[in-house]
Structure 1
Amino acid sequence: MADKNKNVTTQSSDKEIEDFYARMSSLPTLQPKGTKGRLIFALDATASREPAWDRACKIQSDMFSETEALGGLEVQMAWYRGFANFRTTPWLSSSQELIGYMTSVRCMGGQTQIENILDHALDEASKGTINALVFVGDCVEEDVDRLCGLAGKMGLMGIPAFIFQEGDEPFASKAFRQIAELSGGAHCRFDLSSAQQLRDLLAAVAVYAAGGRKALHDFSKSRGGEVLRIARQVK
């Protein structure tokens, strides 16, 4: 739960966006043809994130719509809030299913539980392929060394974490960058005024999870804008 001024505008710099897409484009293609990609969509549901939660409910549908032609996407939502309240959903294959869960969640004050999210991703990966973990949050209130250790294990298991940070709290930024790097993923900041940017980035990660680098390259051609920068990085 972050104590920060929500009126401060924080958008990712051009270099951050370039670095994010460059990292994505360098990842291997892990998804076998003809099978659905699997993505864990994890969110901080503590009180500080209530405005952003409502926005995320509205933009998550692109993760499914942009991957239908690639064989589809299975998403498992995970979230934490309150005191030791960590929940997950079954694997979902439609936007309607996901929005049903998201709209039933109410944000509640509490400490971050990022360790639970990383532990859960590792546990799910022991049962089957996980193509990516997406985490949307604004702060870190845990032992960063411990989180980095788990992120390193994710990297060894081929589970890249794509972390979208709301705001620019310095300690969180440093921790999120380290977690993303150790897992083989990427970190990018956003704010409530950059909903379209977050929509495009989430869709790009979903397309990667469903179809790998080639699908990401094709997606960038049709989407344009910031996503088009992916094409310049893909080899």
Structure 2
Amino acid sequence: MAYDPEPPKRSPNPTICRSPPAGGSAPLPDVKSSSSDIAAFVAKARSMSPYASDGRGRLLFALDATMSRQPTWDMACTLQADMFHEAVGIGSLDIRLVYYRGLNECRSSGWIPDSAKLARLMSAIDCRGGNTQIGKVLSHARTEAVASGIKAVVFVGDAMEESVDDLCAKAGELGLLKVPVFMFQEGHDAIAEQAFREIARLTGGAWCRFDPGAASQLRELLRAAAAYAVGGREALRRLSTTVTSATRLLGQMK
């Protein structure tokens, strides 16, 4: 998907399109996998090098953009620059933004190489009421694991309203592809915690909770995930000497 750095204007009635609008993002289908599909994906993933062929780390940054999430969306919009900053000195980082909101609206941006472009895109998106669509996020991550060689997925949310078994099946596919999912939970919803923990476990990732509105906590978590996406376990291990959240993530990862 091509990415135009100029974001779309906010509109109360956006049009769902099949390809990305200028500066916007494309809707994601709900993908179901057959055993042969999974086997093909695993075979291709095993043939890939542990890092992207062009030497850039790639991270899927997924956020719940339903109505209750506006304060956290705004906070994440500010903090996303820390992911790029953390990558400096380790390597380069590309981020693909994925978000869901409203009635079955789930979109993905193109690859974004710097914080200014990502900030412009995020500032043009407003949160809208709707149910969670974590399954679509995981399906898209599986596709990108092969197509683009993503190294990690970050998900930020506070709820889960889907079938846990379905989500675990998709998470298991990512685990086979060795793509860890970092599930960052805002708040204390018990149902969400159970699902988020299991997704993290099945993918070889990690689950961490942060307090509502706690920018410093989320900042540390995003920095740690970015370090892993660019430099793997060694980069996360180095960061853990100064950042507590990195130690927490490293302790949970297989």
Counting matched residue pairs gives: 204
Look up the match of 1:104: 124
CA distance 1:129–1:33, change in 2 (3 Å)? closer
Question: Structure 2: how far apart are the matches of 1:210 and 1:54?
Answer: 25
Whether the 8 Å contact between 1:61 and 1:95 is mirrored in structure 2 is: yes
Look up the match of 2:56: 36
- Pairing partner for 2:78 from 58, 65, 69: 58
1 or 2, which has the higher helix percentage?
1
**Structure 1 residue 218: Cα displacement:** 2.6
**Structure 1 residue 69: Cα displacement:** 1.7
TM-score (norm: length of structure 2) = 0.75
**Structure 1 residue 192: Cα displacement:** 2.7
Whether the 8 Å contact between 1:217 and 1:230 is mirrored in structure 2 is: no
Report SS of the residue matched to 2:240.
helix
Report SS of the residue matched to 1:141.
coil
- 2:93 pairs with 1:73: yes
**Structure 1 residue 228: Cα displacement:** 6.8
Look up the match of 1:47: 67
Look up the match of 1:88: 108
Question: Structure 2: how far apart are the matches of 1:101 and 1:109?
Answer: 20
Question: Structure 2: how far apart are the matches of 1:189 and 1:115?
Answer: 20
Report SS of the residue matched to 2:107.
strand
Whether the 8 Å contact between 2:52 and 2:149 is mirrored in structure 1 is: no
Root mean square deviation of aligned Cα: 2.2
- 2:244 pairs with 1:226: yes
Question: Structure 2: how far apart are the matches of 1:122 and 1:232?
Answer: 22
- 2:220 pairs with 1:200: yes
TM-score (norm: length of structure 1) = 0.81
| Partner deviation per Cα, 1:49-84 (whole Å, 9 max, x = no partner) | 111111111111010011022221010000000001
**Structure 1 residue 227: Cα displacement:** 4.4
Look up the match of 2:6: none
- 2:163 pairs with 1:147: no
Name the stretch that deviates more: 38-47 or 206-215.
206-215
CA distance 1:204–1:82, change in 2 (3 Å)? same
CA distance 1:32–1:112, change in 2 (3 Å)? closer
- 2:178 pairs with 1:178: no
Whether the 8 Å contact between 2:236 and 2:250 is mirrored in structure 1 is: no
**Structure 1 residue 173: Cα displacement:** 0.5
AA paired with 2:212? L
Question: Structure 2: how far apart are the matches of 1:174 and 1:91?
Answer: 31
CA distance 1:76–1:174, change in 2 (3 Å)? same
| Partner deviation per Cα, 1:103-159 (whole Å, 9 max, x = no partner) | 111000001000110010011112131100000001001111000000000000111
Segments of 5+ residues of structure 2 without an aligned counterpart are: 1-48
Question: Structure 2: how far apart are the matches of 1:80 and 1:90?
Answer: 15
- 2:178 pairs with 1:163: no
Whether the 8 Å contact between 1:165 and 1:190 is mirrored in structure 2 is: yes
Segments of 5+ residues of structure 1 without an aligned counterpart are: 1-28
Q: Percent same amino acid among aligned pairs?
A: 47
AA paired with 2:72? A
| Partner deviation per Cα, 1:29-61 (whole Å, 9 max, x = no partner) | 933697111100000000011111111111110
Structure 1 segments of 4+ aligned residues over 4 angstroms from their partners: 230-234
**Structure 1 residue 184: Cα displacement:** 1.0
